Amino acid sequence: MLRDKTINSSQEHISIKRRTTKSHPLYYLLPHLIIFAIFFLVPLIFGIYISFTKWDLVRAPEFVGWQNFKTLLFSNSIFHDQLTSGLWHTILFVLIAVPFCVLVPLLLAVALNTKPFLGKFFQGLFYLPSLFSISAVVIVWSLIFNTNYGPLNTVFHLKQVWTGTQPWAWITIVILTVWWTIGGNMIIYQAALNGIPQDYYEAADIDGASAWQKFIHITLPSIKGQLLYTLVTTTIAQFNIYGQPLMLTNGGPNGSTSVLMMNIQQNAFGSGQSLAGLSSAMAVILGICIMVVSMVQLYLLRNKD
């Protein structure tokens, strides 16, 4: 009898220990889930709710249904113009910047993968800008592009107004952005390149393949997963452009670099009376555009040989 009780007690202890052990992964995930909920999930849900309200950040939100979206999409108001022009400028920047933000790091990673002299030094040098804040980056490049005493105009004896004329305003913003973001994608590509078996390249050498043929038929197919990841994440990041045109060109010249995020901030916090509900509706529309573009990219690239 005593032996049976001892056996039952041991079995219960083992069962409890197993249940406790199985619950351990949740304990590790819990801090991340809490932070994710507080800083992402809750603001996301609240922002979507606010897009259906009229709110000035002071009084309680007043539910107005789809009125904000109708104003933005179908009316002849200034807010409709802000949405269309801001979204167009954002898309224009994405179309120009994303190819450079993907291809330039790839070329640098391929070059560094050949183990050149001082390769580690240049790897750190290329990655360093990604550690800077956008304000520091803009200050540096605004001095470089300064019309009167900037080193670019001084060295080449130019009088070019870089940030005050088009298309140079967009060119300066793209150069700044590529320089600032080049490090992250480069590191991802380097890790992917290191995982390619060298047997592939040795077989290609035996067949007499050129460097370009090896790059097209071996390197690119071997890192297509990383290319897809960087393409989607880079596109999402560039759709959220804000600091570069705000601090470098202030939306100029003549509002030609005024992106949608600048209009969202201006309506929510920059005007005399906050239009937080309208700004939230703009943000929701921008988010939907980002989701659609990302899904199209995933569909096209995953279904392509």
* SS3 assignment, position 269: helix
Q: What is the pLDDT of residue 32?
A: 86
pLDDT tens digits, residue range 222-257? Answer: 998 899 999 999 999 999 999 999 999 999 899 899
Element (H, E) at 63: strand 62-63
Residues of the chain with pLDDT under 50: 2
Q: What is the pLDDT of residue 8?
A: 54
Can you list the pairs that 47-55 forms with residues at least 24 positions away whose Cβ atoms lie under 8 Å?
47/280, 47/283, 47/284, 48/280, 48/284, 50/276, 50/277, 50/280, 51/277, 51/280, 51/281, 51/283, 51/284, 52/277, 52/281, 53/277, 54/277, 55/274, 55/276, 55/277
H runs (alpha helix) in the chain: 2-36, 42-50, 67-74, 78-113, 119-127, 134-144, 151-155, 168-194, 198-206, 211-214, 220-222, 224-239, 243-248, 260-265, 276-302
Global pTM value: 0.85
Q: What is the pLDDT of residue 271?
A: 67
Q: What is the pLDDT of residue 177?
A: 95
Q: What is the pLDDT of residue 52?
A: 95
Q: What is the pLDDT of residue 9?
A: 56
pLDDT tens digits, residue range 153-173? Answer: 998 888 889 988 989 999 999
- Are the beta carbons of 180 and 268 closer than 8 angstroms? no
Q: What is the pLDDT of residue 2?
A: 45
Alpha-carbon Rg for the chain, nearest whole angstrom, is 26
The verdict on domain 78-302 having CATH code 1.10.3720.10 is yes
What's at 190, amino acid-wise?
A: Q
pLDDT tens digits, residue range 251-290? Answer: 989 989 999 999 999 998 876 778 899 999 999 999 999 9
Q: What is the pLDDT of residue 273?
A: 78
